[in-house]
Structure 1
Amino acid sequence: MNIIVTDTSDQAFRYAASMIADRIRSFPTTVLGLATGRTMESIYRLLVQQHDGGALDFSGTTSFNLDEYVGLGAADPNSYRHYMREHLFAHVNMSAERAHVPDGVAADLAAECARYEAAIRASGGIDLQLLGIGETGHIGFNEPPSAFDSRTRVVDLDEVTRRQNSAMFSGDPERVPERALTMGVGTILEARHLLLVAVGEGKAAIINEALNGPISENVSATAIKLHDNVTVILDKAAARSR
Structure 2
Amino acid sequence: MRIIVCENYESLSKKAAQIVGSQIILKPNSILGLATGSTPVGMYKNLIKMYEEGLIDFAKVKTFNLDEYYKLPVDNIQSYHYFMDENFFNHVNIPRENIHIPDGLASDIENECISYDESINNSGGIDIQVLGIGNNAHIGFNEPTINFNKGTHVVTLDESTREANARFFNSLDEVPTKAVTMGIGSIFKSKKILLLASGKNKAKAIYDTVHGQVTPQVPSSILLLHHDVIMILDKEASSLLNEDDYESVNDYEKVK
Counterpart Cα distance in 1 of 2:54 and 2:47: 11
Name the structure 1 match of 2:68: 68
Counterparts of 1:232 and 1:146, CA distance in 2? 25
Q: What is the identity, as a one-letter code, of the residue corresponding to 2:156?
A: D
Residue pairs, 1:1-242, within 5 angstroms? 1-145=1-145, 147-148=147-148, 150-170=150-170, 172-242=171-241
Deviations 1:110-154 (A, max 9, x none): 111011011001100000000000011100000111633521000
Once the two structures are TM-superposed, the CA of residue 235 in structure 1 deviates from its matched residue by 1.0
| Alpha-carbon distance between aligned partners in 1 of 2:12 and 2:49, rounded to the nearest angstrom | 16
- Amino acid corresponding to residue 51 of structure 1 in structure 2: Y
- Residue identity in the other structure for 2:135: E
Runs of 5+ unmatched residues, structure 2? 242-256
- SS of match in other structure, 1:165: helix
CA RMSD of aligned residues (A): 0.9
1:140-180 alpha-carbon deviations (Å, 9 max, x no partner): 0001116335210000000000000011112x222110100
Output the CA distance in 2 between the equivalents of 1:104 and 1:78: 13
The one-letter amino acid of 2:167's match is A
Superposed displacement of residue 210, structure 1: 1.2
Number of aligned pairs?
241
For residues 123 and 28 of structure 2, the distance between their equivalents in structure 1, rounded to whole angstroms, comes to 14
Percent identical among aligned pairs is 41
Any idea what SS the aligned residue of 1:64 has?
Answer: strand
SS in 2 for 1:195: strand
SS at match of 1:39: coil
> Partner of 2:130: helix, strand, or coil?
strand
- Aligned equivalents of 1:148 and 1:156: distance in 2? 14
State how far apart, in whole Å, the 1-side matches of 2:146 and 2:73 are.
26
Q: Which moved more, 1:20-29 or 1:146-155?
A: 146-155
Partners of 2:147 and 2:29 lie apart in 1 by 31
Aligned to 2:97, what secondary structure does the other structure show?
helix
User: 2:250: which partner in 1?
Assistant: none
Query: 1: CA distance between counterparts of 2:187 and 2:203?
Result: 22
Whole-angstrom CA distance in 1 between matches of 2:205 and 2:145: 15
- 1:23–1:30: 8 Å Cα contact kept in structure 2? yes
Structure 2 Cα separation of the partners of residues 10 and 146 of structure 1: 36
Residue 9 of structure 1: CA displacement? Answer: 1.5
- Give the distance between the partners of 1:129 and 1:223, measured in 2 at CA: 14
CA shift for structure 1 position 73:
2.2
Whichever residue aligns with residue 85 of structure 1, its letter is: D
Secondary structure of the structure 2 residue equivalent to 1:38: coil
